[in-house]
Chain A
Amino acid sequence: MSSLKLFLCLFLAYCVNGQSCIQPSVSPSSYSSTNQKLSKSTAFVVEFSLKCASKTDNLQLYADIDGVQFPVTKSSESEHYQVSWTVKDKKTVAHNFDVRFFDEEGYNNLRKVIRSGQSPESIKPLFNVDFQHPGLSSGFWIKAEFLGLAVAVLVLYVVCRERSQIIS
């Protein structure tokens, strides 16, 4: 009898904590900072609103970005989620991110797979979001001062050549 009670308790705990999203419909938006003059660090933000066919009051999501896992933040008011990460003091190059999202069960499976040394790609995510980071750049590739100097040197060269031709 006591084992039955324990089983029921465990089952209830699973129902409360291990919620899953069935047929997720996602509308994502993403942001990454690109101006190197303003900041040497890059901030990445992926936001999305999620609608599930099942009831998901207590849904905890996790994101897997290039093999690193992050817990997903939820808005205090709505069904709006966000995952954000930063790369500090390093120039980030253009990169296409495939952000894979997992629920609690999927995340646990993912951790097991990573621990056992297998490929994390084998675990199917709940859904994924693709976004393109154009890379951290400081605008035009050549400084205007150098361009001005180059033109001035060119003019000086032409003039000097003509002068030397006249003298000779």
Chain B
Amino acid sequence: MKLYLGIVLLLLTAFAKGDDEKAKIILVKRILNDIITERNDLAIEYNLYNIGDGVATDVELADSSFHESDFELISGMTSVKWSRINAGSNVTHAVVVQPLRAGDFNFTSAVVQYVSEKGVDVTFGYSNEIGEQEILSLKEYNRLHASHMMEWGLFALWCMPSIDVPLLLYYLSKRKYSKKVKKN
């Protein structure tokens, strides 16, 4: 009798636990770049963590921050879906864009929607908001971070007359006098 009672209790706890098995997804949006510049690649990373006890199904991630008037999509998709994300696991998604204009830009949050358990309505979630970030102009970026080979090359060219002319005069006179010394 005790054994039966034990089995029944175990089953009840199993079912009770089954009812609580709900998925919960946390979405983190992150800029991978240290410097954001106009006409240079900008990589955005999305991390989805399922911190719930259940499997999240029909997971859809959408980010409408990158309008085509401000950004050019280089690689990746801004609206994607996973059929399932298991409990305790995480997935990564990345998108690469190029900003078309310099200036401050407000990077808003991405949206995730998923089914947290069977027979339940779709759950919506938002990522963190990165906020306003400065997009450097290409001219400013080149001034600060380019190799400046051209500028140094031109500087060397401009220095040449002041170094080479005295050097040439010196060599001419040296050759002349060394010949005289040899004759003597």
Residues of A within 8 A of B77 (CB): 47, 73, 75, 80, 82
User: Which among A91-99, A112-120, A137-145 touches the partner chain?
Assistant: A137-145
Q: Is A60 an interface residue (CB 8 A)?
A: yes
| Interface residue stretch chosen among A3-11, A122-130, A147-155 | A147-155
Kindly state the interface size class of chain B when it binds its partner. Answer: 35 or more
Chain A residues in 8 Å Cβ range of B96 = 31, 33, 43, 45
Whether A86 contacts B32 in the complex (CB less than 8 A), given A33-B43, A38-B40, A45-B75, comes out as yes
One of B41, B75, B152 near A148 (C-beta < 8 A): B152
B residues with CB within 8 A of A: 32-35, 37, 40-43, 45, 60, 62, 74-77, 79-85, 91-96, 145, 147-149, 151-152, 155-156, 163, 170
Residues of B within 8 A of A148 (CB): 152, 155-156
User: What's the Cα separation between A73 and B85 when bound, in Å?
Assistant: 11
In the assembled complex, which residues on chain A have CB atoms less than 8 Å from the CB atom of B41?
Answer: 33, 35, 38
Once A75-B79, A86-B92 are accepted as A-B contacts, the answer to whether A43 and B43 lie under 8 Å apart by CB is yes
Contacts of B75 in A (CB 8 A): 29-31, 45, 47
The chain A residues found within 8 Å of chain B, CB to CB, are: 29-31, 33, 35, 37-41, 43-45, 47, 58, 60, 70-71, 73-77, 80, 82, 84-86, 88, 139-140, 143-145, 147-148, 151, 155, 162
